[in-house]
Amino acid sequence: MNSRIITIALLTIALPCAAAAQARASRSAPISDVRYSVTFKSPQAVEKGVDVTMSFTASGRDPVLLSLPVWTPGDYEVSNYARNVSKFAATSRGKALTWDKSAPQTWRIVTGDGGPVTISFHYRADTLDNAQSWARDDFLLFNGANLFLYAEGRGLDFPAVVSVETEESWRVVTGMTPAGARAWSAANYHELVDHPFFVGKFDLDSAQVAGVWMRFSSYPAGSVKPAQRVRLLDQMARAVPAEVKVFADRPWAHYDVMQIADPAFGGMSALEHENSNVGIIGSGYMDEDFVPSVYAHEIFHSWNVKRLRPVDMWPYRYEAMQPTAWLWVSEGITDYYADLALVRGGVTTAAGFLASTERKMEHVDQTVPVALTDASLQTWLHMTDDTQDIYYDKGSLAGLALDIMIRDASDNAESLDGVMRSLYAADYRNGRGFTPDEWWGAVSRAAKGTKFADFNEKYIDGRELFAWNQWLPKAGWRFHADTLHEQRLGVRFQADSAGLVVVTVEPGSTAATAGIRPGDVVTSIAGVPVSNPAWESWRQKYAKQEGAPVAIGVLRGGQATTVNPAVKFATIVERKIEPDPGASEKATRIRDGILKGETTAGKQ
């Protein structure tokens, strides 16, 4: 997962209690020959929903227990998809079967003596979220974890076929393996729910990337200009080979980038899958620098998290949250490699890489100190103290620090790339997740036996400030910090359809003196609507106007108002990283090694 601008989600989540978990422990009668059919035509589109059937053969006299997941891997929140189900029915040989619920997400169907069973239901698809399902008059996004039931206690290794019934002229795109006309097959449930679908009218482009086809689907048709679509595929054609090189493996035969542009979405959010990703982007943001970075991040997840992942998440479980202290590796180090892929592939320059690194440092500076392990574990709770997403940027910086230390200890013969590649070979290839000992063992071996217990205690499992003045010179970079006096509103936002929802307000800030409080929606600043990507231009306008009034459009409880607080300035520490012209030969080798993806030990 990756989101830019939108940094904090405001969903209310429900946590499963122990009693509910126990109630789910019962086992279903065995089922086989599992098929799912998803119907989305004009009538369903009008209703903003989708009709689903599941057919199978049940064995024996016990009831069949069918469950829906509560979350989708990569989207670390409990969403309880079963809440969108209505009109549930079960039949066998044309006769209605008795059913009830045995748990909130579980249906119990009495079959009598087994045989062929068809269940059907309507699923409300009205949530624009890359882990959910969303219908428009001419389009549907759906995720398998929303719609596809599994038999309780019978394992997730069952194969299945999915067919999609839709209008003749509408397209269907998914990364799943085709199995006939508008039908696809999955070898097991994990594969089944890891392939989102686009159905309807949308643009479709393709290009050769890393030797195979990459498709770019964008909805609504015409929302992304042809030149922008060509540019994105070109950027991926340059960046993705640098990612393939890290693992010496390209694990898919084709890849789908699936994008929805929406005028009400203020930023970008994307969710990874084994050979696809779904991005949601605010209309007008397609030219922003973060777009290739988000997609490079999602594609790097093909290896890091979809295949190589911490043992806590192997295998995925769908009935409850599945926390891990290692999202700083799965997400943070993925983000480090997104930056590296862009510079190694020539999509950005070394200066662009450093600017991204500085931005991450600034985000960490502005956030209360939190251990990467704690931030990883607690993300499921949607923390309200501003630490919700910090494991992305701070984890990315931890990746840079480790890469520098490994290259320094080995005189650039080894790298973090090699660590990722060795764990991929040792763990993913052997069908398991990596343990903490395996991770630190691989890091230590690459760093020629250097111990990382102290580093872990201080910077990963602890809250100490990163020691950039010690680390960056080893890679030929100079680090300094400037103190600036700048105009600030003093709030953090989350975008939603109405505008920017205020999440936190800094005491004494411009926003605080105007009476702005969490839950207010900021709709415009200095006359520029926040739906306009140029809304941040108020900063330049007020660069020298401390104390001047600034008009802020606010929605509170549905009432629109304008407040005019005096702009307050705040003291900001600006981090700057520059290449050191006096760097030693070794440090220069390390810097070049990081930026080019090379070591002196040979080709990576």
Residues at the site binding Zn ion, with contacts judged by CB under 5 A? 1-2, 331
- The closest of 357, 351, 399 to 575, measured between CA atoms, is 357
Q: In this complex, which beta carbon is closest to Zn ion, that of residue 327 or of residue 514?
A: 327
| Shortest separation between residue 508's beta carbon and Zn ion, angstroms | 35
Tell me which amino acid residue 264 is: A
Nearer Cβ to Zn ion (176/333):
333
Residue 201 Cα to chain centre, angstroms: 25
Q: Which is nearer to Zn ion, 121 or 303 (CB)?
A: 303
The residues, ordered by sequence, that sit 6+ positions from 391 with a Cβ below 8 Å of its Cβ are 327, 328, 331, 332, 372, 375, 376, 379
Q: Which is nearer to Zn ion, 1 or 405 (CB)?
A: 1
Minimum CB distance to Zn ion smaller for 1 or for 286: 1
Decide if 13 contacts 77 (C-beta within 8 A).
Answer: yes
Question: In the bound complex, what is the minimum distance in angstroms from residue 1's beta carbon to Zn ion?
Answer: 4
The CA-CA-CA angle for residues 510, 388, 519, to 5°, reads 45
Cα 518 to its chain centre, rounded Å, is: 25
294 vs 530 by CB, closer to Zn ion: 294
At its nearest, how many Å lie between Zn ion and the CB of residue 16? 24
Whether the CB-CB separation of 321 and 78 falls below 8 Å is answered with yes
Number of helices (H), then strands (E), in the chain: 18, 30
Comparing CB distances to Zn ion, the nearer of 376 and 531 is 376
Buried b (16+ CB within 10 A) or exposed e, 398-407: bbbbbbbbbb
Nearest approach in angstroms of CB 394 to Zn ion is 14
3-state helix, strand, coil in the chain (%, to 5): 30, 30, 40
8 Å CB contact between 121 and 52: yes
What's the min distance (Å) between Cβ of 454 and Zn ion? 28
Which residue, 2, 7, 3, is CA-closest to 501? Answer: 7
Closest by CA to 594, choosing from 380, 337, 419, is 337
Closest CA to 54 of 151, 153, 154: 151
Query: How many whole angstroms separate alpha carbon 494 and alpha carbon 501?
Result: 5
CA distance linking residue 284 with residue 528, whole number of Å: 15
Q: Considering beta carbons, is residue 389 or 520 the nearer one to Zn ion?
A: 389
Distance CA 523, CA 425 (A): 50
The secondary element (H helix, E strand) that includes residue 570 is strand 569-579
- Tell me whether residue 92 or residue 277 sits nearer to Zn ion (CB atom): 277
- Residue 191 or 331: the one with the smaller Cβ distance to Zn ion is 331
Cis omega before residue 220 (within 30°)? yes
3-state secondary structure 26-71: CCCCCEEEEEEEEEECHHHHHHCEEEEEEEEEECCCCCEEEECCCC
Q: Smallest gap, in angstroms, from Cβ of residue 304 to Zn ion?
A: 9
108 or 301: CB nearest Zn ion: 301
Output 2 or 376, the one with its CB closest to Zn ion: 2
Minimum CB separation of residue 301 from Zn ion in Å reads 5
Least Å distance between CB 298 and Zn ion? 7
8 Å CB contact between 51 and 44: yes
Using alpha carbons, select from 340, 304, 301, 294 the residue that is nearest to residue 475. 340
Shortest Cβ distance from residue 442 to Zn ion (Å)? 21
Quote the least distance from Cβ 395 to Zn ion, whole Å. Answer: 10
What is d(CA 355, CA 348) in angstroms, rounded to the nearest whole number? 10
User: Cβ 331 to Zn ion, closest distance in Å?
Assistant: 5
- Residue with Cβ nearer Zn ion (299 or 554): 299
Compare residues 92 and 378 and give the one whose CB is closer to Zn ion.
378
Is the CB of 389 or the CB of 408 nearer to Zn ion?
Answer: 389
Question: Nearest approach, Cβ of 136 to Zn ion (angstroms)?
Answer: 26
CB 203 within 8 A of CB 224: yes
The minimum distance between CB 297 and Zn ion, in angstroms, equals: 5
* CA–CA dist 339, 171 (Å, integer): 33
Task: Point out which residues pair with 178 in neighbouring strands.
Answer: 184
Q: What gap in Å lies between CA 565 and CA 513, rounded to an integer?
A: 7
In the complex, what is the shortest distance from the CB of residue 272 to Zn ion, in angstroms, rounded to a whole number?
6
Q: How far is the CB of 391 from Zn ion (least distance, A)?
A: 10
